[in-house]
Amino acid sequence: MGFKRPRGALGARKGLFRLTMRALVLLAALVAAAAGTETFVGHQVLRIVPTTDEELQKVQELQDLEELQLDFWLAPRGPGHPVDVRVPFPSLQPLKAHLEANGVSYSIMIEDVQALVDHERTEMLRGRRQRPISTNTFDYATYHSLDEIYAFMDLLVAENPNLVSKIEIGRSTENRPLYVLKFSKGGTNRPAVWIDTGIHSREWVTQASGVWFAKKIVLDHENDRDLASLLDKMDIFLEIVTNPDGFVFTQTQNRMWRKTRSRHSGSACIGVDPNRNWDAGFGGPGASSNPCSETYHGPYANSEPEVKAIVDFVKNHGNIKAFVSIHSYSQLLLYPYGYTSTPVPDQQELHQISKEAVTALSSLYGTNYKYGSIITTIYQASGGTIDWTYNQGIKYSFTFELRDTGRYGFLLPAKQIVPTAQETWLALKVIMLHALDHPY
């Protein structure tokens, strides 16, 4: 005879669950209010699709209207390509009227940005009830704070002292340590693969994927023949939180913060786009000289300590063979160049690797990726990471844009973290093994 639940117990439990969820939502709102956190009540994300050059120009002009306080999640590319914009509530009606008057079509991708932010915060609070005592009990299917990620790194190193070590490669503007995990079976200055996540702080699925990659390397380094052969000859360096100041700011003040947190004389606006700050076509088209812009390139190349730390590390190491910088969103795999339309000398090889990597990625869940050079696939962008690494002689330089294609954008639900990381890992393995099998 089975265990019989008392009548009414299920209803009571559902009621209790609802009360708990309401309490968590209220707690999240109170925490946000007490911290002076920026809210996005009434904000929507519109998808605008210009169909002609004239319409494209009308959309591009919106980028200069600072009074509307628009936040471009996907910048204008060309006719037929979607432009995603977070629009504050007071700007919604004027913007929609402007678009309609000019015959530019749009749709609402996210009806209420704050609702997604609240849900995300509630899930994080719910997952914080106990601190993991090992990386086996760590919850990879939720978003974590900087402290939690740094604590995870320490656990991983402590559990795997013969494989994993932690290196501090520098300090951020606000004096936070910039940590890199090194996966190595020994030897000095062996050929290496570099992977970084979270250079744009609001792209939370990237840091979360970086955490999952770290555990995956530890789990598979012996029983996965490909990974074992890679680590027999190469090291892997993984910087999970490349922009820690921005990351903390997204969790405490403004979930949509993208840039670093540096201050520059002559402007009240804070931060530099760390993916426009590298010394590759620095200050050219596709970056802004306006300190208030989301794509502000900074006062000079490598002005940001977060960028300079990687530059110094790469130069001092001198034997990095593959460099992968991971962003979100759009589902793209990109190779250089972004700052010039001149194809790289290795274009054919990089294109073929991208094709194979994307095929491997989509084999798991059918996720569809596009691939190509930055400038031909998205837009011209100067001062980008992988243009600089390629020009340093790192032939296998790639950038990923992870899930999704805009339904949630930067607010990707936590339940998609692990599937995103799993499929991306398959593509990363293609790139790493190609570098192993094609020494140069």
Catalytic residue among 123, 203, 401, 423: 401
Q: Is 343 helix (H, G, I), strand (E, B) or coil?
A: coil
Provide the b/e sequence for 152-188 (b: ≥16 CB within 10 Å).
bbebbbeebeebbeeeebbebbeebebbbbebbeeee
On whether the CB atoms of residues 306 and 261 are closer than 8 A, the answer is: no
Alpha-carbon Rg of the chain, whole angstroms? Answer: 22
Q: Smallest Cα–Cα separation from 244: which of 277, 214, 274, 276?
A: 274
Per DSSP, the residues of 403-430 read S-SSSSGGG--GGGHHHHHHHHHHHHHH
Please list the alpha-helical segments (H only) found in 284-416: 305-317, 347-365, 374-377, 385-391
Adjacent-strand bridge partners of 373: 335
Would you state the structure tokens that stand for residue 27, as one six-digit string?
């707690």
CA distance readout (Å), 380 to 121, 286, 329, 340, 397: 35, 5, 17, 7, 17
Q: How far apart are CA 143 and CA 317, in angstroms?
A: 32
Q: For residue 65, is it left (φ>0), alpha (ψ between -120 and 50) or beta? A: beta
Question: Catalytic residue at 222?
Answer: no
Provide the 8-state DSSP code for 4: P
Q: How far apart are CA 39 and CA 254, in angstroms?
A: 8
Provide the 8-state DSSP code for 104: -
Q: How far apart are CA 219 and CA 421, in angstroms?
A: 14
Catalytic residue list: 401
